[in-house]
Chains A and B, each alone.
Chain A
Amino acid sequence: MTENFMRELSRRDFLALSAVTTGGLLLAACGAPAAVAPAGLAGKPVENELNIYNWSQYLNPDTLKQFQAAHSGMTVKQDTYASNEDMLAKIEGGAKGYDIVVPTGYMVKIMIEKNLLYPIDHSLLTNYSHLDSRFTQSGYDFGNKYSIPKDWGTTGFGFRKDKIRQGMTSWKDFFEMAPHFSGKISVLDGANEVIGSTLKYLGHSYNSDSDQELSAARDTLLKFKPHVGHIDSANYKTLLANGDLAYSMGWNGDFAAILALTPSPPVQYVIPSEGSEYWVDTWAVLRTAPDPVAAHTFINFILDPKIEGLEANYSYYANPESDATPFITNGIPKDPTVYPPQSELDKLESNKPTPKGQRMRDQIFAEFKAA
């Protein structure tokens, strides 16, 4: 694989790396963070440091360069994580020094409930008005009090057109064609993605917490498991692009990035006809942030449509600002993988498990992995 390919690849980090970085901090953690209501930030000086804790390859290096050019003297550091859960474990474990994190909508809600996020000071975000209005009314954080939408996408699957000539359109295909492609199938390493998809296949809600529906999902998954070759959120792109997989569950931007390779591999992304997940990733400031003004300055900088365009060109994920569209190149705004038509969007749900549903998902997923 070329270096370029690796660069474009990952919203999610290497599994192994995440295991190394998170392994050490399990024990540091007890006690909740102090609940201090922060005062308004307007008029306070910008700190000269900024620490971003982000998914890997999820911030355009050019964006960083331009930001640093505009704020000379500021040191920006970035550290990466591989899943929302890894990030939460580390922050809850007492990791200090980070200013900005990038949680997905459902994780924003959890972090708000755990009192881990700094209320956004909207007076510092002069570019906020560029956001499309539907991104200011999300259920996980209505009015963006604690988080600012970064980009959005869908969870579905991609398949090799050269191996599956009849094509695939649904979760039904995903689960029922498995015996023909045993070992050449991969699913995401996430309880909610895997179990949510199974629930959709069975005709239930992505977020069901009914015992009966979840137990049916469990049975389906245990029957499906012998055919699963990989449970992985990072390497599936490479494996699919190489032809080592027949089909793979994943996030749309990853498949868009594969398709942008030259030559483009015969891969097609599918939003399954039964429906699937729609997610929004956000910028959020931590309550423990040592540099809250710099963090707001950075988020405001990103909200500039020109910069949002840079971001979309790098990550292949859809942007929450229509104003950014003129700055997005490579035909991305017209790519149905990145911007699905409204008819497909209507079938999607966002991930918002109940505590009970989450516990059951985690147990079923452990059983699935062990099978």
Chain B
Amino acid sequence: MARLAKLPAPLLLAPAAFWYLAFFVVPIGFIAVFSFLTSADFGGISYQLSLENYQRLAQSSVFLKVFANTLWMAAGGTALCLLVGFPLAYFLATRAGRWKNLLLVMLIVPFWTSSLTRTYAWLILLGNHGPLASVLTQMHLLHGDLNFLYSYSAILLGVTYNYLPLMIFPLYVSLERLDKRLIEAAKDLGAGRWRTFRRVTVPLTMPGIVIGSLLVFIPLMGEYLVPSILGGARSFMIGNLIGDEFISAHDWAFGSALAMGVILILMVLITIYFRVARRVTSAELAL
């Protein structure tokens, strides 16, 4: 480490810079350029400048509808991850004691298997002929079909399951760093449990909440595997729409415009999100 510290900054930054240039900036550049060109019949790009894709995008009710669908799924998934993840992270940071490391490892273990495989496993577990259905039927709690799969709830379950650790780790880090004396101070000064939590714990762990939510929300906006496996015919996400435009419809130009549209809207949403988050945090702390 001592040697690394002596390296000049450009050298330290070079690998990441190269990586982002080659695998992020260049591809996005392609997409940006394609979005201003025209699609050839049955696929490919013809090098003809046009704003037509953006006109179509502006008029596309399908885009708005699918975007709203996806936003709904991503927001729901993020909220659920936060709801499930916060108590767990709190427990890990404050009460887990000597079990802490073991529990943290257990959180990671499922990731040794591909998420595709794990998502297919839910198909078996939750299917109308699966173990859950048969147990419930035997306990006379279920009559007829379970019919849980291929619904919005099934999608939420799948994405929460897959993204939960992305929420827990940042929360855990900020809860771990939380100065416990501040909580004691709040109690000494007469604040109840709920008030301490709301006025001290939450504002001080806001960075973890903000980052965790973002880490879950952003990839969820692009998620389309889990919805297409667990969601049946009601699972058409913006990722599916863009994928279909590129692969099935062979309309690369419009697909690129769709992708640019998503990027732009997300940038706006995230800017607003950061501003609000900062204001909320400082307001809470000021009180």
Contacts and interface: CB of A to CB of B under 8 A. Distances in A.
A15 B247 contact: no
Contact of A89 (B31, B224, B250): B250
Interface size class of B (residues with CB under 8 A): 35 or more
B233 A230 contact: yes
A27 interface: yes
A74 interface: no
Interface string A344-371: 0000000000010011001101110111
Q: Is the interface of B mostly helix, strand, loop or mixed?
A: helix
B62 interface: yes
Nearest to A187: B233
Contact of A362 (B69, B232, B248): B248
B246 A369 contact: no
Nearest to A82: B247
A26 B43 contact: no
B244 A366 contact: yes
Interface string B135-173: 000000000000100100000000000000000000000
A370 B66 contact: yes
Nearest to B27: A27
Interface stretch (A17-25, A52-60, A202-210, A260-268): A17-25
Contacts of A68: none
B90 interface: no
Given A229-B233, A230-B232, A19 B243 contact: yes
Interface in A216-235: 225, 228-231
Contacts of B45: 30
Contacts of A363: 249
Contact of B247 (A32, A86, A244): A86
B225 interface: yes
Given A22-B247, A89-B246, A355-B42, A16 B225 contact: yes
A110 interface: yes
A19 B225 contact: yes
B146 to A, nearest CB: 11
A335 interface: no
A174 B93 CA distance: 57
Q: Is the interface of A mostly helix, strand, loop or mixed?
A: helix
A186 B234 CA distance: 12
B281 interface: no
A19 B27 CA distance: 19
Contacts of B248: 83, 85, 190-191, 362, 365
A304 interface: no
A27 B251 contact: no
Contact of A370 (B150, B241, B246): B241
A17 B120 CA distance: 11
Contacts of A89: 43, 246-247, 250
A217 B30 CA distance: 35
Given A230-B233, A355-B42, A15 B243 contact: no
A355 B244 CA distance: 17
Contacts of B128: 242, 244
Contacts of A244: 127-129
Contact of B43 (A17, A19, A88, A190): A88
A291 interface: no
B188 interface: no
Given A92-B43, A225-B233, A369-B236, A19 B30 contact: no
B44 interface: yes
B228 interface: yes
Contacts of B240: 369
A12 to B, nearest CB: 13
A191 to B, nearest CB: 7
Contacts of A23: 243
B27 to A, nearest CB: 5
Nearest to B236: A369
B58 to A, nearest CB: 15
Contact of A229 (B150, B241, B251): B150
9 tightest A-B CB contacts, nearest first: A362-B249, A355-B41, A369-B236, A228-B233, A85-B248, A89-B247, A370-B62, A370-B66, A231-B233
11 contacts: A22-B243, A27-B31, A29-B44, A83-B248, A191-B249, A229-B150, A230-B150, A231-B233, A242-B129, A355-B42, A366-B241
